[in-house]
Chains A and B, each alone.
Chain A
Amino acid sequence: MKQSKKSIVLSYAILAFATLIVLLPFFWMLVSSFKSQRELFAYPPKFLPSVWKWENYKQVLSAGSISFFQMFLNSMKVTLPVVVLNITFSSLAAYAFARINFPFKNFIFMMFISSMMIPAAVVMIPRFMLFTNLKLVDTYWPLILPSAFGTAFSIFLLRQFFMTIPKDLEEAAVIDGCGKFRIWATIIVPLSKPIIATLSVFLFQGTYNDFMGPLIYLNTDTKFTIQLGLASFRNSFATRYDLIMAGSMLALIPVLIIYIVCQKYIVKGIVMSGLKG
């Protein structure tokens, strides 16, 4: 497919400029993670550290009553189930909203959307009381269950995408005698790789970066997730910025990996393959 030269040049220009703006603060954060506290806020601002303090990273890794690795595993115990389960159940529901006609469909859908309009602060306490009554505090269940069976955001996102899948594919399958579930599993899901990849990134990151949930529900420090570990470098009296920067850089790595793996699925032509067959 030929693109006009002008478009390509313009695109590069936009991207280069935008990358600069995006990267600069981030690059500052990266170099700061190697600075001593004193240098971090020197004036005039020094970009590069005079001494590259790898100790910052070492300190972050050994701080806390459990190792960084253990905290990472704990984070995974919550994040991975949520990602897998949420996508599964949300896409089932999203398919129903996109393609199946059932009574009260639009009302129920609106209800789901409106659940996004409530600030988390007011939902927190009733939910906590619920889990206290179920005796699930200080476990990972309160962090997994609410998102495991599908959430409004995921359902909405997937539904929009499903609605753009050509109906002929499904109609062909119906004629072949496929039930709705078969259609979902063999046609809809494979064609939705881009959006599922996108959603995976969002869910992974959202759950991984969640701070309030683990803070309220986890009491034993051996169960702490990474975000709680990072928070311990900061208290109301003294903030160890250098450790926070280093710790955040480390904590970023899993999310970055997931992103890099997933984003290669967000490519052209996947929808096309269905029509050709």
Chain B
Amino acid sequence: MKKLICIFLVLALTLSLTTACSSSAPETSKTPETPVATEKPDDLKWDGYEASKGLSGKISFMHFGDDYERQMYADLIAAYEDLVPGVEVEQVYTPGDYYTKLQTLAASKTLPDIFWLSEGRVKEFADAGLMADLTDVLEKYPAISDGMFDGALDYGKADGIQYCIPKDYTSYVMYINVDMFKEAGIPIPTSDWTMDDYMKLSGELTKVANGRTTQYGTAVNNYRADWINFMGNYDAPWFKDGKSNISDPNAVKGLKVQADLIKNGYAPAPGTTGESEDRLFIIGQIAMYPSGRWVVPSFINECDFEWTAVEFPKGTTRVSPFITANVAINSQSSSKEIAANFLSFQLSQTGLGYTLSSGLSVPLYEELITDKNILAEPAEAFIATSNYIGDKEQVEALGTGKWSEYNSIISAELSLVFEGSQTIEQAAANIDKKANETLFK
């Protein structure tokens, strides 16, 4: 019996190996060729082409993402190397735990020449002097900042200096299961809808049968984009004068919406890793789902009902939390000029064409955001958010350099609210006390 299992497994392994071998073997040719100047393609939309002439050397580029993104950037690099034959770009793809690796490299002073950094880490890295000042890069390649939405560049600054540049962003919207609305005879919310509308609709779209909820009106995420949206849409000064101020009545009012949705049974309590909520929308258990742009590819592939996206419900105003990856250049890099040129290619229209095709994020440029090839449907809600990018409090909180720990405190206290063991008011008081005593002294 054992022998049979053994034989079977060896056969299985051999089978899989032969299938793998017969599938096309991709090659990564790193053999240096004699640089041959290529003709500038007619449709090239990159203002750094002239500056690239004569550049030669090697740079390393580190990024994260799933396998699909790895391929996109491999294509981008190949395209760049074609245009700039003297340069070789080493792709350091990091399949997981990106910041563990990045920080280990930083600690041993071996950071790659050009790397990504989320908005939450900018201040820390800036304080440690790890990133090059990109002011002259922006001057040399004006196309980078031209046409970029107002407020975006702030997220790459620390103490007023531009240390890195956001490559795209993802704003937050409310996804709608259109079929569920049609079935209930309720019209899809328009841009004008308010938090009260949201609460009411969630109730109407929740169905209970035999003591079990078979359909939820909405879902709640314990995630920073959600809190920022709820507090920001009531114009709450949740971070003021360098101190946490979540106890502000407007901040509490915003967060209470989340808490009440769960209390009323209109939304399931969020799982602690936040992964299950996307799934719930995909399997058709939720009518309205707040999330970012990154779920779109999964939704397109897997939802078998009609769906769309609308803007987040309005409070007294609207903000859009900014979540992005910035591109930074190592301050100790010996190839800053090449790195800058490559950066300009990454952010050029041609470059973005390679990397935005996955639909995972939203471009920061006005001309690109309305290009249907770059931003697939649903696009309207996302285009609308470009009018109010950013949240003042978020920028200020990020500037303290203690964003990550602050996040952990907020999420821990809120998880207790969503679980039902404390109220929003108590959580807010706890957050402020803890944060202001230990982080923002």
B191 at the interface (CB under 8 A from A): no
Considering the complex, which residues of chain B in the window 1-55 have a beta carbon less than 8 Å from any beta carbon of chain A?
2, 5-6, 9-10, 12-13, 16-17, 19-21, 23-26, 28
Question: Closest 10 interchain pairs by CB?
Answer: A237-B294, A231-B95, A231-B96, A232-B67, A232-B95, A235-B66, A69-B20, A67-B20, A132-B108, A41-B279
A219 at the interface (CB under 8 A from B): yes
Instruction: State how many angstroms separate the Cβ of B70 from the closest Cβ of chain A.
Output: 7
Q: Is the CB of A235 within 8 A of B6?
A: no
Contacts of B335 in A (CB 8 A): none
Closest to B74 in A: A65
Residues on B facing A (Cβ under 8 Å): 2, 5-6, 9-10, 12-13, 16-17, 19-21, 23-26, 28, 60, 64-67, 69-71, 74, 90-97, 100-101, 104, 107-108, 110, 275-276, 278-280, 282-283, 285, 292, 294-295, 297-298, 301-302, 304, 360
Q: Is the CB of B90 within 8 A of A219?
A: yes
Q: Is the CB of A215 within 8 A of B20?
A: no
Instruction: State how many angstroms separate the Cβ of A136 from the closest Cβ of chain B.
Output: 12
Q: Is the CB of A220 within 8 A of B282?
A: no
Q: Out of A41, A43, A228, A238, which one reaches B66, CB within 8 Å?
A: A238
Report the separation of the CA atoms of residues A18 and B253 in the bound assembly, to the nearest whole angstrom: 51
Contacts of B110 in A (CB 8 A): 132, 137
Report the separation of the CA atoms of residues A165 and B69 in the bound assembly, to the nearest whole angstrom: 56
Given known A125-B107, A212-B100, A216-B101, contact A235–B282 (CB-CB < 8 A): no
Q: Is the CB of B13 within 8 A of A232?
A: no
Q: Out of A36, A125, A231, A260, which one reaches B104, CB within 8 Å?
A: A125
Given known A43-B283, A232-B70, A238-B298, contact A69–B17 (CB-CB < 8 A): yes
Closest to B285 in A: A43
Given known A67-B20, A68-B20, contact A221–B66 (CB-CB < 8 A): no
Contacts of A129 in B (CB 8 A): 107-108
Given known A37-B298, A58-B19, A257-B9, contact A235–B64 (CB-CB < 8 A): yes
Contacts of A125 in B (CB 8 A): 104, 107-108
Residues on A facing B (Cβ under 8 Å): 36-38, 41-43, 57-58, 61-69, 72, 124-125, 128-129, 132, 137, 211-212, 215-216, 219-222, 224, 228-229, 231-240, 250, 253-254, 256-257, 260-261, 264
A-B contact pairs, 13 of them (CB 8 A): A41-B282, A67-B20, A69-B21, A124-B104, A132-B108, A132-B110, A215-B96, A216-B100, A216-B101, A231-B95, A232-B66, A233-B67, A238-B278
Contacts of A215 in B (CB 8 A): 94-97, 100-101
Report the separation of the CA atoms of residues A144 and B108 in the bound assembly, to the nearest whole angstrom: 20
Total A-B pairs, Cβ < 8 A: 136
Q: Is the CB of B2 within 8 A of A260?
A: yes
Q: Is the CB of B275 within 8 A of A239?
A: yes
A36, A43, A235, A264, most chain B CB atoms within 10 A: A235
Q: Out of A37, A219, A221, A250, which one reaches B70, CB within 8 Å?
A: A221
Report the separation of the CA atoms of residues A58 and B360 in the bound assembly, to the nearest whole angstrom: 24
Contacts of A212 in B (CB 8 A): 97, 100
Closest to B214 in A: A43
Q: Is the CB of B96 within 8 A of A238?
A: no
Q: Is the CB of A221 within 8 A of B93?
A: yes
Q: Is the CB of B107 within 8 A of A219?
A: no
Report the separation of the CA atoms of residues A43 and B212 in the bound assembly, to the nearest whole angstrom: 12
Contacts of B280 in A (CB 8 A): 41
Q: Is the CB of B6 within 8 A of A257?
A: yes
Instruction: State how many angstroms separate the Cβ of B290 from the closest Cβ of chain A.
Output: 15
Secondary structure at the A interface, as helix, strand, loop or mixed, is: helix
Contacts of B297 in A (CB 8 A): 238
Q: Is the CB of B13 within 8 A of A254?
A: yes
Report the separation of the CA atoms of residues A233 and B65 in the bound assembly, to the nearest whole angstrom: 9
Report the separation of the CA atoms of residues A219 and B283 in the bound assembly, to the nearest whole angstrom: 38
Report the separation of the CA atoms of residues A62 and B17 in the bound assembly, to the nearest whole angstrom: 11
Q: Is the CB of A238 within 8 A of B295?
A: yes
Given known A62-B23, A238-B297, A257-B9, contact A221–B104 (CB-CB < 8 A): no
Contacts of A211 in B (CB 8 A): 96
Given contact pairs A43-B283, A221-B28, enumerate 18 new A-B contacts (beta carbons under 8 Å): A38-B304, A61-B19, A64-B67, A65-B28, A65-B70, A67-B21, A68-B17, A128-B104, A128-B108, A132-B110, A215-B97, A224-B95, A232-B95, A235-B64, A235-B96, A237-B294, A250-B16, A260-B5
Report the separation of the CA atoms of residues A260 and B295 in the bound assembly, to the nearest whole angstrom: 42
Closest to A239 in B: B275
Instruction: State how many angstroms separate the Cβ of B249 from the closest Cβ of chain A.
Output: 33
Contacts of A36 in B (CB 8 A): 302
Instruction: State how many angstroms separate the Cβ of B108 from the closest Cβ of chain A.
Output: 4
Report the separation of the CA atoms of residues A228 and B70 in the bound assembly, to the nearest whole angstrom: 13
B71, B100, B297, most chain A CB atoms within 10 A: B100
Q: Is the CB of B93 within 8 A of A68?
A: no
Report the separation of the CA atoms of residues A256 and B7 in the bound assembly, to the nearest whole angstrom: 12
Report the separation of the CA atoms of residues A270 and B397 in the bound assembly, to the nearest whole angstrom: 67
Contacts of A66 in B (CB 8 A): 26
Given known A215-B94, A233-B67, A257-B10, contact A57–B16 (CB-CB < 8 A): yes
Q: Is the CB of B20 within 8 A of A62?
A: yes
Q: Is the CB of A42 within 8 A of B283?
A: yes
Report the separation of the CA atoms of residues A264 and B3 in the bound assembly, to the nearest whole angstrom: 11
Report the separation of the CA atoms of residues A211 and B95 in the bound assembly, to the nearest whole angstrom: 10
Q: Is the CB of B71 within 8 A of A65?
A: yes
B12, B25, B66, B283, most chain A CB atoms within 10 A: B66
Contacts of A41 in B (CB 8 A): 276, 279-280, 282-283
Report the separation of the CA atoms of residues A237 and B70 in the bound assembly, to the nearest whole angstrom: 14
Instruction: State how many angstroms separate the Cβ of B164 from the closest Cβ of chain A.
Output: 19
Closest to B96 in A: A231
Closest to B62 in A: A219
Q: Is the CB of A65 within 8 A of B26?
A: yes
